[in-house]
C-alpha cells in the first residue's frame, strides 16, 4: 500500500477537491473554464515572446521587436546625448563615428530593418576615413576588433565565401560583411524575428510557385 508523506497530503486533498468540483460543473461552466485556460496559455506565450525580445539588445539600448517609432525615439535620444549625428538630404539617416585599432575612424551609417513593423536587424555601413585601403584589409581590421572585444567564445568563424565573420550570443547575432557592392556592413540581428521573416517569405514563395503551376 502506497503511503503519503505529510507534505503530500494537502496537495492530494486539493486535487480531490478540484476533481469533485469539475464533476459537478455544467457543460457551460466547463466550457468557460476551458476558455480561461486557453486565454492563460496565450498570455504565457506572449510573455515568453517578451522575454525573447528583452534578451536581444542591439546598439544604444535598442531592442529587437521595437516599432519604427520606438526605434526613432531611441535614436533621437542618442543624438541629443551627442552619441549620434544626422545626415540630412534626399535620404536622411543617422550615423555614428566608430574607431578601430590600426584602421582608425569609420563613419557608420545606421539603417534599421523591420518585418511587420517590428525591428529584426540593424545594419551599419562602415566607411573608413582611410579610403586608400582595400575593403578586405579594412574588413579584417574591423573583424579583429570585434574578436578582441567579444572573444573567440562567440566567434563562429567565416562563412562559405570567406567574407562574412559571424558572432552568436543566444538570440542575437552580429555579421561583419565584406560586400563588393555595398562595402563593409555590420549587422546586428535577432534570430527570432529573422526566422519569422524567412518562414513567411518561404511560404509566400511556395504559394506563388503553386499558383504559377496552376495557371499554366
- Supply 12's cell numbers: 492530494
23 vs 109 pLDDT, higher one: 109
pLDDT confidence of residue 124:
96
Determine the Cα–Cα distance for residues 62 and 80; give it in Å rounded to an integer.
Answer: 15
CB atoms under 10 Å from CB of 205, counted, come to: 10
Confidence at 154, pLDDT banded by 50, 70, 90: confident
Percent above pLDDT 90 for the chain: 45
pLDDT confidence of residue 8:
44
Q: How many helices (H) and strands (E) does the chain have?
A: 5, 8
164 vs 206 pLDDT, higher one: 164
What value does the CA radius of gyration of the chain take, rounded to a whole number of Å? 26
Alpha-helix residue ranges (DSSP H) falling in 62-162: 68-80, 135-150
Q: Per-residue pLDDT averaged across 30-55, rounded?
A: 46
Least confident of 52-56, 142-146, 191-195: 52-56
For residue 190, pLDDT beyond 80: yes
Structural domain boundaries of the chain? 9-53, 57-198
91 vs 144 pLDDT, higher one: 144
105 vs 171 pLDDT, higher one: 105
Confidence at 88, pLDDT banded by 50, 70, 90: confident
For residue 185, pLDDT beyond 60: yes
pLDDT confidence of residue 42:
52
What is the average pLDDT score of the chain? 78
Q: Per-residue pLDDT averaged across 13-30, rounded?
A: 47
Percent above pLDDT 70 for the chain: 68
Question: pTM here?
Answer: 0.68
Q: Per-residue pLDDT averaged across 4-33, rounded?
A: 46
pLDDT confidence of residue 151:
86
Amino acid at each position: 500500500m502506497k503511503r503519503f508523506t505529510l507534505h503530500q497530503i494537502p496537495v492530494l486533498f486539493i486535487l480531490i477537491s478540484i476533481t469533485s468540483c469539475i464533476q459537478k460543473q455544467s457543460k457551460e461552466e466547463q466550457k468557460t473554464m476551458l476558455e480561461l485556460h486557453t486565454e492563460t496559455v496565450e498570455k504565457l506565450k506572449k510573455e515568453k515572446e517578451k522575454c525573447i525580445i528583452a534578451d536581444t539588445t542591439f546598439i544604444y539600448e535598442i531592442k529587437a521587436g521595437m516599432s519604427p517609432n520606438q526605434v526613432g525615439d531611441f535614436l533621437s535620444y542618442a543624438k541629443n546625448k551627442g552619441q549620434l549625428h544626422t545626415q540630412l538630404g534626399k535620404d536622411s539617416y543617422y550615423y555614428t563615428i566608430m574607431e578601430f585599432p590600426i584602421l582608425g575612424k569609420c563613419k557608420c551609417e545606421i539603417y534599421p530593418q523591420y518585418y511587420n513593423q517590428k525591428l529584426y536587424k540593424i545594419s551599419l555601413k562602415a566607411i573608413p576615413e582611410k579610403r586608400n585601403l582595400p575593403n578586405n584589409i579594412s574588413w579584417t581590421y574591423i573583424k579583429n576588433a570585434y574578436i578582441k572585444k567579444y572573444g573567440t567564445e562567440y566567434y563562429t568563424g567565416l562563412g562559405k565565401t570567406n567574407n562574412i565573420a559571424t558572432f552568436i550570443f543566444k538570440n542575437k547575432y552580429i555579421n561583419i560583411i565584406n560586400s563588393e557592392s555595398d562595402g563593409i556592413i555590420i549587422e546586428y540581428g535577432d534570430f527570432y524575428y529573422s526566422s519569422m521573416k524567412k518562414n513567411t517569405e518561404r511560404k509566400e514563395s511556395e504559394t506563388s510557385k503553386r499558383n504559377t503551376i496552376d495557371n499554366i
